[in-house]
Amino acid sequence: MRILILSLMLAACGTNEPEVKKETSPFDAPADVGAPPADASETASGLAYKVLKAGTGTTKPSSAGEVEVHYTGWQTDGTMFDSSYKRNQTAKFPLNRVIPGWTEGVQLMVEGEKTRFWIPEKLAYKGKKGSPSGMLVFDIELVSIVPGLNERYPAPADVAEPPTDAKRTASGLAYKVIKAGTGATHPTETSRVQVHYTGWQTDGKTFDSSKKRGRPATFPLNAVIAGWTEGVQLMVPGETTRFWIPEELAYQGRPGRPSGMLVFDIELLEIQ
């Protein structure tokens, strides 16, 4: 009898062990994956979103800005089709190179923020074969806004045209030594050189830089634009020179290439 009473008392009181809450995985589909909830906001384009965690930043990325994010994506039936968490690595990309729903949505965010987006098909893959179809749901955490090329490598004050103290060659190439070199040998037209460089258009837009890749560029001088072939031969190792290269010595109006006169800061590191 005493054992029966004790068992009943234990059953009534329960145990003293704390309840263990099940941890959610970033891969688990949310309960509202099927449709945006009533408290979600919606933009004019039809993009729905809900902030899951407020951010700590104050700046929002631009449409062409580069961002670093963590994300998971689901279809509305709960199927997860992609996640940066699976790779255990954040993703970095310019916002103008992703689906329109991402381009629009991430611009609404600040660093540290986590937001859920319901992206209609017209703002996603638009029925593209081999891509997830229908409305897609993404949880996106904006880890950081990566400064663009213009912010990292701003144009010099004289980018629009060569200054009066710049030198000119017979071909129309203008140049000015920014830092004197330590070497004595000049490369030839067929030399292979190692350089660091940054290039701008005359409106100040930075279009390329070896520094963004974290390593110098190496190439034969007869395999680049004519302005480079001519200009780098004027340099010695250790020298940094700014070149104003007219279009006829640059890409000559080739589609998909920077147009007009181009400005380059080139540092000759080595003649190989």
Looking at the annotation, which residues are catalytic?
197, 207-208, 225, 251, 264
d(CA 185, CA 172): 24
Do the beta carbons of residue 220 and residue 247 sit within 8 Å?
A: no
Q: What is the dihedral of CA 225, 227, 231, 233, to 10 degrees?
A: 40
Do the beta carbons of residue 264 and residue 198 sit within 8 Å?
A: yes
Measured distance between the N- and C-terminal CA atoms of the chain, rounded to whole angstroms: 96
> What is the 3-class SS of 39-76, one letter each residue?
CCEECCCCCEEEEEECCCCCCCCCCCCEEEEEEEEEEC
DSSP SS3 for 220: strand
What DSSP string runs through 114-170?
EEEEEE-GGGTTTT-TTS--S-EEEEEEEEEEEP-HHHHSPPPTTTTS--TT-EE-T
Helix (H) or strand (E) holding 82: strand 80-83
51, β-bridge pairs: 115
